[in-house]
Chains A and B, each alone.
Chain A
Amino acid sequence: MSTAILSESLLILALGWGGIFVVMIIIYLVSMALMKIFPADK
């Protein structure tokens, strides 16, 4: 087992999975803002 491969894979996990969370959190905030700025007509 190569520690280099393991550390590379863990780096991908951190950057990749972490990156998805960052993008989704930003989209979450944007969605909240959109719902506030453009509310549905009552």
Chain B
Amino acid sequence: MEVLNTAVDVLTAGVLGLAAEPGRIVMMLVGMILMYLGIKKEYEPTLLVPMGLGTILVNIPDSGVLAFGGEPGPFQILFDMGIDTELFPLLLFIGIGAMIDFGPLLASPFLLLFGAAAQFGIFFVIIVAGLLGFNLADSASAGIIAAADGPTSIFVANSLQSKYLGAIMVAAYSYMALVPIIQPIAIKAVTTKKERQIRMVYKPGSVSQTAKIIFPIVICIVAGLIAPASLPLVGFLMFGNLLRECGVLDNLSMSAQNELVNLISILLGLCVSVRMQAGEFLQVDTLIIMGLGLLGFVMDTVGGIMFAKVLNIFRKEKINPMIGASGISAFPMSSRVIQKLATEEDPGNFILMQAAGSNVAGQIASVVAGGLILGIVPGLM
């Protein structure tokens, strides 16, 4: 009889544990929503699907994926090895670097400035979060969501040991997927129809292979000398780009773009769900952090547009201010959104190349922003 009772206790422990903590059920629903968004809506599925299932797995009481028999479980081990050490986001950067063509940007380097301008949201959110009572590390971590760059957000939030890492990652990737919804609203709020109709002449300049090879090396040196804390981010990104451009490592470049990115995405999505446990995630603060991230995306867009408008005061040949909005890191989504908006206002307006250049500039600027924050914030804490 006693054996039977023990067996019943063991078999019902999970259900009773779940009933005792309804927050776990809520998080399982969150996991299902993430999977729904990934599978049905195709919003960043490579990350949201593993993260969604991971969220369900970590919220099952006494989940073996977190700990088993007093030893860390597989998710915890992956988290300790890949996120705590920051290796996963960095390895992902090699693949991203191998995917980027800096050619259009080298042909029109002026667009680099829009990448800088559109990082405004990061710093706006840091100010707002500080005023809302978050400590400096959490404010900066919330701000970096506005870098519109998942790996940078993870790297910075984890380096600053923010307890909102799970929320930051969900926010960063969800908002990136929602760029086609967020940016048009923000753009239309701060531009006139006439401004959106501005046509720009594209003068493509051809770029030599030598310039393309030297470019990532020079960026590493420049960024490293000014913001050494950015070197892990910039260095891995530019290493990936060097694989692409050097012309003798095509196999490695293809592996970085495909196998490496796919493998790391699977592991990253699963293990980041360690931070999606009900006790940690279901707090008002988490929702505020996610709201701040959204605000950051909007303010990035506004910052980029305002910068373009200021430049237009001094320029004879006007810039379509929407080019400023595409200076965020979400590539190529943002440039496509800008082209779509331009076509809506004037079917013959073609500004995709300028928008793409500004978008690539945003990728460089976001990693530099991450490095600068890591260089500045710890000194103020």
Contact check, B123 vs A38: say whether CB atoms are below 8 A apart: no
Interface residues of B in 100-146 (CB under 8 A from A): 105-107, 109-110, 112-113, 115-117, 119-120, 122-124, 126-127, 130-131, 136, 139-140
Shortest CB distance B247–A (Å) = 14
> Out of B127, B206, B364, which one reaches A6, CB within 8 Å?
B127
A30 CB → nearest B CB, Å: 5
Per the 8 Å Cβ criterion, residues 294-310 of B in contact with A are: none
A38 to chain B, nearest CB (A): 4
Collect the chain A residues with CB atoms within 8 Å of residue B6's CB: none
Partner of B113, one of A8, A17, A28: A28
Binds A, one of B24-32, B159-167, B176-184, B217-225: B217-225
Q: Tell me if B246 counts as interface (CB < 8 A to partner A).
A: no
Residues of chain B within 8 A of A30, CB atoms compared: 215, 218-219, 222
Q: How many residue pairs between the two chains, A and B, have CB atoms under 8 Å in the bound complex? A: 118
- The interface residues of chain A lying within 8 Å CB-to-CB of B380 are 8, 11-12
Which B residues touch A32, using CB under 8 A? Answer: 109
From the candidates A8, A15, A41, name the one contacting B130 in the complex (CB within 8 A): A8
Point out the residues of chain A lying under 8 angstroms from B208, CB to CB: 38-41
Query: Known: A12-B376, A15-B372, A38-B214. Is A20-B119 also a contact (CB below 8 A)?
Result: yes
Contact A34–B218 (Cβ < 8 Å)? yes
Range, interface on chain A: 20 to 34
Within 8 A of B (CB), among A1-42: 1, 5-6, 8-13, 15-17, 19-28, 30-32, 34-35, 37-41
Min distance, Cβ A37 to any Cβ of chain B, angstroms: 8
When each residue 211-240 of chain B gets 1 if its CB lies under 8 Å from chain A and 0 otherwise, what string results?
100110011001100110000000000000
- With A20-B119, A39-B208 known as contacts, the answer to whether A27 contacts B364 (CB < 8 A) is yes
> Judging by beta carbons under 8 Å apart, are A24 and B214 in contact?
no
Is A40's CB under 8 angstroms from B206's CB?
yes
Q: Are A5 and B112 touching (Cβ within 8 A)?
A: no
Mark each residue of chain B from 188 to 215: 1 if its CB lies under 8 Å from any CB of chain A, else 0: 0000000000000000011110110011
Query: Which of the residues A10, A34, A37, A41 comes within 8 Å of B106, measured between beta carbons?
Result: A34
In the complex, residue of chain B having the shortest beta-carbon distance to the beta carbon of A10: B127
Between-chain CB contacts (< 8 Å), 24 pairs: A1-B131, A8-B130, A12-B126, A12-B373, A13-B123, A16-B372, A19-B227, A20-B119, A23-B222, A23-B223, A23-B227, A23-B368, A24-B116, A24-B364, A24-B368, A25-B113, A27-B219, A28-B109, A30-B215, A31-B109, A31-B215, A34-B211, A35-B205, A40-B208
List 14 extra interface pairs beyond A16-B122, A27-B364, CB under 8 A: A5-B131, A12-B126, A12-B373, A19-B376, A20-B365, A20-B369, A23-B116, A23-B365, A25-B113, A30-B215, A34-B106, A34-B211, A34-B218, A40-B207
